[in-house]
Amino acid sequence: MTGRAIALVAPSGPFAPSEMAEGIALAAACGRPVRWFADPAEAVGFLAASDARRAAHLHAAFADPEVGLVWALRGGYGALRLLPHLDLDRLRAHPKPLLGLSDVTLLLNVLAERAGLPTLHGPVVRQVPRLDAASRAQLTEYLASGLLPRAHAVRRLHGDSVTGRLRGGNLATLCSAVGTPWWPDLTDAVLVLEDVNEAPYRVDRMLQTLAQAGALEGVRAVVLGQFLGEDGPVDLAADLLIELARERGFALADSLACGHGAANTLLPLGASVRLELAASGSVLRS
């Protein structure tokens, strides 16, 4: 990391500073001061600020030499609008990790693939109060020392062990990029998917969109994180994907502790990973 400070950014929806207090306190306890690159007064409807202002904040956060981590305050909506305003060469000139999830999925994949930045799929600042003990401990260790978990338990559903480049994140957000210049290259990818508050027919629609658009061609494996409804986990994505996995020849696993729930591990998007599948003890290694 280039510096100890953490840049707080809002690349998507508007935010309330009071919701960020526990995440900021955790950063402070790890010896990481925070610097704000977002202003709640700049909110424009469902956006944290205009597209130009959010891009300017992100550029400034990466350029600050005291900043060693850029951490998204929340998801929401707006990353797709933001991408055309980014100068990837400017961001590439100041390499540092970006941490987030949900709508930030598009930024994570684009910056990992096209700027070579070490992006992390993991908790946004607003999510910190809801993390379970294991996820909070992982996040604390990362903020304090930069160490990431290297093994993540999963459950084998179909196929054999594979190696690939880690991509993915929120299913709905990824689907919004189909047909745009921002769709990630999934050739030889291990694709992680998660989502929240989506009805079964909507999940099926999104998966079929990816399949029929040819977006899953070349994918080596799909690993499912949490698919959560209003009352807890919804076991539906695996049932909907198993037929596609058999037809198209990619491996399939689920039960990865990532997503919008309390269990949310840190995943280095863009990194080479090994999905080790067995009848028991399957693991995603990064």
Read off the pLDDT of residues 145-164 as tens digits, 9 standing for 90 and up: 999 999 999 999 999 999 99
Do 27 and 135 fall within a single domain? yes
Do 10 and 141 fall within a single domain? yes
Average pLDDT over residues 15-32: 97
What is the per-residue pLDDT for 250?
97
Do 21 and 71 fall within a single domain? yes
Instruction: Tell how far CA 8 is from the center of its chain.
Output: 16
Do 126 and 182 fall within a single domain? no
Do 277 and 157 fall within a single domain? yes
260 tagged catalytic: yes
Residue 259's domain comprises 151-285
Active-site entry in 12, 57, 102, 158: 102
Do 238 and 134 fall within a single domain? no
User: How many structural domains comprise the chain?
Assistant: 2
Do 9 and 141 fall within a single domain? yes
Residue whose C-alpha is closest to residue 109's, from 14, 46, 1, 191: 191
Active-site entry in 57, 121, 158, 260: 260
Active-site entry in 12, 57, 176, 194: 194
Model pTM score: 0.96
Determine which of 121-135, 158-172, 228-242 has the lowest per-residue pLDDT on average.
Answer: 228-242
- Domain with 20 in it: what CATH number? 3.40.50.10740
What is the per-residue pLDDT for 1?
44
What is the per-residue pLDDT for 199?
84
145 tagged catalytic: no
Choose one of 115, 145, 175: the last residue of a domain. 145
Choose one of 92, 113, 145: the last residue of a domain. 145
- Domain with 172 in it: what CATH number? 3.50.30.60
pLDDT digits (tens, 9 = 90+) for 204-240: 999 999 999 999 999 999 999 999 876 656 667 788 8
280 tagged catalytic: no
Q: Are strands 162-170 and 272-276 parallel, antiparallel or unpaired?
A: antiparallel
Question: By the 8 A CB rule, do 43 and 14 touch?
Answer: yes
Do 31 and 140 fall within a single domain? yes
pLDDT digits (tens, 9 = 90+) for 38-75: 999 999 999 999 999 999 999 999 999 999 999 999 99
Q: Looking up tokens 């590439």, which residue turns up?
A: 92
How high does pLDDT run on average in the chain? 95
Do 156 and 140 fall within a single domain? no
Do 49 and 135 fall within a single domain? yes
What is the per-residue pLDDT for 236?
72
Do 161 and 235 fall within a single domain? yes
What is the sign of the dihedral through the CA atoms of 94, 4, 76 and 198? Answer: positive
Is 90 exceeded by the pLDDT of residue 16? Answer: yes
Choose one of 80, 112, 145: the last residue of a domain. 145
Do 11 and 96 fall within a single domain? yes
Encoded tokens for 74 = 């929340």
| DSSP designation for 47 | B
